């Protein structure tokens, strides 16, 4: 699965980093330490997220510099995305 940046109507952003069964694993940008969260596709839709044209590689590079820190699991996903060259969005939402 290719990573994708999603954004909702409140301008909250997240990166879909992987799938886990029928769910997706996301890293939401927020004020605290960045962590990996599991969401169903329905939860993604219910929270108003839609796929953005923003580059997953650029988003991952930015998230890695987050002032409040990044969990180890989130760091591994973000480093993989930042070094892999993913630049296209995923069209599934």
Do 31 and 19 contact (CB within 8 A), yes or no?
no
Do 82 and 57 contact (CB within 8 A), yes or no?
yes
Residue 85 pLDDT:
62
Residue 84 pLDDT:
84
Residue 91 pLDDT:
47
pTM (2 decimals)?
0.86
Tell me the Ramachandran region of residue 9: left when phi exceeds 0, alpha when psi lies from -120 to 50, beta otherwise. Answer: alpha
CA 64 to chain CA centroid, nearest Å: 12
Annotated domain spans of the chain: 4-84
Residue 24 pLDDT:
96
In this prediction, residues 31-40 reach a mean pLDDT of 95
Q: What band does 2 get if pLDDT is binned at 50, 70 and 90?
A: confident
Task: Report which of 67, 62, 66, 68 is spatially closest to residue 82, judged by C-alpha positions.
Answer: 62
In this prediction, residues 5-12 reach a mean pLDDT of 95
């Amino acid at each position: 699965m290719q990573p994708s940046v999603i954004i909702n109507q409140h301008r909250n952003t997240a990166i879909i980093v992987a799938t886990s069964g029928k769910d997706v694993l996301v890293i939401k940008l927020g004020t605290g330490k960045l962590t990996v969260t599991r969401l169903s596709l329905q939860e993604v839709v219910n929270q108003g997220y839609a796929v953005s044209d923003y580059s997953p590689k650029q988003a991952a590079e930015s998230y890695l510099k987050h002032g409040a820190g990044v969990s180890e699991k989130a760091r591994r996903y973000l480093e993989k995305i930042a070094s892999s060259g993913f630049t296209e969005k995923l069209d599934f939402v």
